[in-house]
Amino acid sequence: MTNSKSMLSVNHLNTHYGEFQALHNISLNIRSGSIVSIIGSNGAGKSTLLNTIMGISKPTNGSIVLDGKEIGGLPTNQVVANGISMSPEGSRVFEKMTVEENLLMGAYLKEARKKKNESLEKVYTLFPVLREKREQSASFLSGGQRQMLAIARGIMARPMLLFCDEISLGLAPVVIKDIYQKIKEINQEGMTIVLVEQDVKRSLKHSDYSYVMLKGQIVMEGNSSELSEEEVRDAYFGVNKYAKY
Ligand SMILES: Nc1ncnc2c1ncn2[C@@H]1O[C@H](COP(=O)(O)OP(=O)(O)OP(=O)(O)O)[C@@H](O)[C@H]1O
Ligand SMILES: [Mg+2]
C-alpha cells in the first residue's frame, strides 16, 4: 500500500459559502487502491470537502489533482467522467423510479452507458437484494437497501475513486457491518474509496489511512492502525492541544 501511487491529491484547498469559510487550507493525498476515512463531527466540513472535489461546490483556491490531471473547478459531469463518483449523504435515491432505473441514472455518461449491462451484473452480484427488487419502486426499500442502492449507483459510473458520505447513518449495527463488508469487497476489486464517518472506532477499523477534520481544517492524519482512538477523539472534539482550532 505504502508504495502505490497517488490517486488524488488535494492541495491548499479553500471553500467559502458566501462570506463563511467552510474549508481552510485542506491538503490530502489518497493512494491508489486504499480506503481512506475522513472523520469529523457535525459541521466539520466533510461533505463540503467531498462536494468541492465533485465540483458541486466551487473552491475559492487550491488544486485538486486526480490521477495526474487537474480537475479543480470542473463541473460535476466532467469530474465523474474523469473517474470519481459519490454515494451522497442521506442515501438519496429517486423515489419514483424503480431500483434498476436508479442504477441506470449512475451510468448516464457515455462511457459508463456503453458498459451498463456489465455494470448492472456487477452490482447485482455484489448486492443480490437489489437484483431481487430491481423492478420495484425505490420507495419500498429499507434504509439499508437504500444505502446499498446509493453505493451501487455510484459504482455504475465505473469510477476509479468512490466517495461514500456517511453510509452508516441511522442504520442498525448488523446492516452497517454488512455494508462495510461490501465496501471491503469493492476495494479488493481495485476501487479506491473515501469514507466519511462520524464514528471514530468504525472509521479507524475500516480504513488504511485517516484524516480528522475540525472546523474546516485537517487536525490529524495517519495510518488508521497506528492512530490512537483516544487521540483521534480529542482531535475530533477539539479538546486539549487541538482547542486552538
Ligand atoms: N449550502 C451551504 N450554505 C452555507 N453554509 C453551509 C452550506 N453547507 C454547509 N454549510 C456550513 O459549512 C460547514 C460545514 O458543513 P458540512 O456539511 O460540510 O459538514 P459535515 O462535516 O459534512 O457535517 P455533517 O456530519 O453534519 O454532515 C457547516 O458550518 C455548515 O453549516
Ligand atoms: Mg456531511
Task: Give the nearest ligand 1 atom to 57 CA.
Answer: 1
DSSP single-letter state for residue 140: G
CA angle, 69 then 30 then 170, to 5°: 120
- Residue 239's pLDDT is 82
Neighbours of ion ligand 2 (CB under 5 A): 46-47, 89
Name the residue of 13, 38, 46 whose CB sits within 8 Å of the most ligand 1 atoms, as the mutation to test its pocket.
Answer: 46
Residue ranges of alpha helices (H) inside 91-220 are: 99-105, 110-114, 116-126, 128-132, 143-156, 173-188, 200-205
Any bridge partners for residue 37, and if so which? 195, 210
Q: Euclidean distance between the first and final Cα of the chain, in Å? A: 31
**Long-range contacts made by residues 107-110, C-beta under 8 angstroms, separation at least 24?**
107/156, 107/157, 107/158, 109/77, 109/80, 109/81, 109/157
* Residues carrying CATH 3.40.50.300, the chain: 1-83+160-245
CB-defined site of ligand 1, < 6 Å = 17, 20, 22, 40, 42-48, 89, 198
- Residue 212's pLDDT is 97
Regions in the chain scoring below 50 on pLDDT: 1-2, 244-245
219 torsion bin: left (phi>0), alpha (psi -120 to 50), beta (else): alpha
- Residue 179's pLDDT is 96
Q: Side-chain half-sphere of 122: how many Cα atoms within 13 Å?
A: 20
- Residue 128's pLDDT is 97
Nearest ligand, measured from the Cα of 164: 2
Q: Which cell goes with 29? A: 493525498
Per-residue pLDDT of 4-18, as tens digits, reads: 799 999 999 999 999
Task: Give the nearest ligand 1 atom to 47 CA.
Answer: 22
**CA 43–ligand 2 middle distance (angstroms):** 7
Nearest ligand, measured from the Cα of 215: 1
- Residue 241's pLDDT is 62
- Residue 217's pLDDT is 96
Nearest to 23 by CA among 53, 67, 66: 53
CATH of 1-83+160-245, one of 3.40.50.300, 3.40.50.720, 3.10.105.10, 2.40.10.10: 3.40.50.300
**CA 224–ligand 1 middle distance (angstroms):** 25
- Residue 238's pLDDT is 87
Query: SS3 for 240?
Result: helix
Reported pTM: 0.94
Task: Give the nearest ligand 1 atom to 216 CA.
Answer: 14
Per-residue 3-state assignment (H helix, E strand, C coil) for 49-77 = HHHHHCCCCCEEEEEEEECCEECCCCCHH
